[in-house]
Amino acid sequence: MPSGIWRIAMGIGIPVGFNTTGWDIPGWFSAMCVAMSLATEGLTLLTLGLVKPWGEVVPGWIPLIGGKRVAPLAAVIPALLGAAVVMLLTIPRAGGFGGAQGAPTGPALVVMNACYAPLLLWGPLLVVVALSYYQRRLARSSHGERPR
Tens-digit pLDDT profile for residues 85-104: 999 998 988 887 777 777 88
Please state whether the predicted TM-score (pTM) of the whole model is above 0.95: no
50: left (phi over 0), alpha (psi -120 to 50) or beta: alpha
pLDDT band, very low/low/confident/very high, at 144 (cuts 50, 70, 90): low
pLDDT by residue (tens digit) across 13-62? 888 888 778 788 888 888 999 999 999 999 888 899 999 988 999 989 98
Say what the pLDDT of residue 100 is.
Answer: 74
pLDDT by residue (tens digit) across 123-134? 999 999 999 999
